[in-house]
Structure 1
């Protein structure tokens, strides 16, 4: 599978690879299956589409699902696995299982894991990826905006969601008897085009601050809840990556030319290399954001490579 290859410096890896304990690896971890849970940031649609920029084949019509992969796809590729949703070489019995869904909250992910466990079992050779929380954060923000939640209650609500996701990671790992889990924090929406638009709409700079605080509350609760044992679970700090990639002084090091605007001119997942903003042709990967709320190709690649590095180097 063709994967957007990015060279990550040690300093960048430190940002992406959250603090998880663990001993030195004795032998290489070799999963025989990868199961993906989360929202659309982890999703490959049945037609191979993603909630990012979709590459096109030479006919300029058909999707090239192997190019511009989502982060679990990068991990799967590193272990020679594919998903039935994107299987260009017609691998028999793909080892990738896609259980992510559009708009999934933490509660939805918990339900998806329960449904999966009703007919299947997580073993130490099952590599599980989890990224959720973005919609919990957005829902809390929208409730605050509508006046149905106070700021304190909005922060409390996302903290509870973060704690619930942490408990789910612990459940899947099951103290080593379950799967091995790569879990990622969500992107920090306080740096998104959505946040910028909210600032304009409300003329209130505190809206940007609130989105940042909601993300921090969620991620802090998540990190505190997960049992800090790198033998079973490994953290990727995508929220911190968002902040780092949004720094104008670091654009060159991230090969970015635009950290403010969205690159897609149509709604996701229908965005392709043919529907990018004027002037973005050929450099769509150099935009941080695909649309107002979803990071694009470069973000996905960096999260995926960091997660793969975790799986290869943690003592799973």
Structure 2
């Protein structure tokens, strides 16, 4: 069912087909009613939202044809191909290690460190787009020093070079929208050549609720909406941060009022989409109170309350803003549609975040170390779209860490949201 390895998902999500569907007033809009003649299968999937639902690209050098496609604003799947990692004594930075050499290769290397601290993973040597197998295949070269062991004797500080092949496998990045689309046998091929077809996203980095209307208009102009279309919307993330940071609103009560108004605006857009005949899954705002950003703000701002869970480091103001946004979206804006379960479903990520953030099996922190993150060309860059395993914190794992960076969810949260969205759509519509 999924196009990404089960090993990257939390254990609770590896059996999607067996996941139970629980109807609760706060987490789900409607439970449907009656029986269906056949299982729900959308003709197409259309996504609106901010960077949590968007793709982007990155150029490897000044040649625009050397572009990595399908980067996401969370952890990116970047497996290093087995059998492509070589260490050699040749220090030339413009050639790869000769894998056939019997004299130049080091075969038991540890503690390798690149000389160029601005490119700790090395620099890009070549990019291959031999679709679909070698799409986004990047060869990296790093000159540095390391330790090598021969016959039980280790020599430290040896000058050497490392070359390796890494794949930016956009079809295997476990974003919520890819989880949803893949479960229906579809994918975002326009943004990721390796992916399946049948789904499209209009989401953009930095989008606020007000920007979703432009995305909807573009989709209408492309004749994408109507019967047979499943629309998935996740917005409000950037609005909560913007309003929380702004001095315009003064008190937390004023900020809550503003965020509720924005939720009502989003609800109006959801209704507009429903009126085209499309089915809609709406994702509520995530609880940023538990995020590294939220925790840092609580520590810095005296008087910030703790969260309802009693976790002292959790930012109660951000948690309240997410709750009020979701309540206004669901219980006010979509009030008249609550029991029309064949048209719209609502997923509340706050409940998942609260459960996982207080569960000792998971790590409520960021998985990517800002000091290790690099662009595909090898240059340091801590922007979230450059989060991948090459820049993980020590012992970092996509199966346990909840956040990619300070504010953006990692795969655990994305996968939970995507599975919930699929289950709601498959069982309700």
- TM-score, length basis structure 1: 0.87
Give the CA deviation at 1:45.
2.4
Compared with structure 1, are the counterparts of its residues 20 and 251 closer, same or farther at alpha carbon in structure 2 (3 Å cutoff)?
Answer: farther
Moved more, 114-123 or 235-244: 114-123
Kept in 2, the 8 Å contact 1:187–1:238? The answer is yes
2:344 equivalent in structure 1? 233
Which one has the bigger helix percentage? 1
Provide the residue aligned with 1:242 in structure 2.
Answer: 353
Q: What residue in structure 2 maps to residue 209 of structure 1?
A: 316
Q: How does 1:205-284 map to 2 (within 5 A)?
A: 205-206=304-305, 208-224=315-331, 225-226=333-334, 227-228=337-338, 229-247=340-358, 250-252=359-361, 256=362, 258-259=363-364, 261-265=365-369, 266-280=382-396, 283-284=397-398
CA 1:18 to 1:197, structure 2 compared with 1: closer, same or farther past 3 Å? Answer: same
Aligned to 1:185: 284
Deviation of residue 20 (structure 1)?
1.8
> Which is worse superposed, 98-107 or 66-75?
66-75
Pairing partner for 1:54 from 57, 76, 79: 76
Aligned twin of 1:29? 40
Which residues of 2 match residues 49-198 of structure 1 at below 5 A?
49-59=71-81, 60-83=165-188, 84-88=190-194, 94-143=197-246, 146=247, 148-174=249-275, 177-198=276-297
**Larger RCO (CA under 8 A, 6+ residues apart):** 1
Structure-2 change in CA distance of 1:113 and 1:147 (3 Å): closer
Instruction: Indicate the larger mover: 284-293 or 16-25.
Output: 16-25
In structure 2, runs of 5+ residues without a counterpart are: 58-68, 82-164, 307-314, 370-381
Alpha-carbon distance change, 30 to 275 in structure 1, aligned in 2, over 3 angstroms: same
| Residue 19 of structure 1: how far off its partner (Å) | 3.9
Aligned residues: 299
Q: Is the CA contact 1:35–1:127 (under 8 Å) kept in the aligned structure 2?
A: yes
SS class of match (1:88): coil
Distance 1:121 1:52 in 2: 27
Q: Contact (CA 8 Å) 1:263, 1:276: kept in 2 or not? A: yes
Deviation at 1:199, TM superposition (A): 1.8
SS at match of 1:304: helix
The CA deviation string for residues 92-149 of structure 1, in whole angstroms up to 9 with x for no partner, is xx22111011111110112211232133251221111100011111111011xx3553
Q: Which has the higher strand share?
A: 2
Q: Which residue of 2 aligns with 1:299?
A: 413
8 Å Cα contact 2:219-2:225 kept in structure 1: no
C-alpha displacement of 1:206: 3.3
Normalised to the residue count of structure 2, the TM-score between the two structures is 0.65
Distance 1:264 1:13 in 2: 33
Superposition RMSD on alpha carbons, in Å? 2.2
Distance 1:51 1:97, change over 3 A: same
Moved over 4 A (4+): 8-17
Between stretches 129-138 and 150-159, larger displacement belongs to: 150-159
The residue aligned with 2:51 is 40
Q: Does the Cα contact within 8 Å between 1:13 and 1:306 map onto a contact in 2?
A: no
Q: Say whether residues 1:286 and 2:393 are aligned partners.
A: no
Higher deviation after alignment, 191-200 or 24-33? 24-33
Once the 2 structures are TM-superposed, how far is the Cα of residue 3 of structure 1 from its aligned partner? 5.5
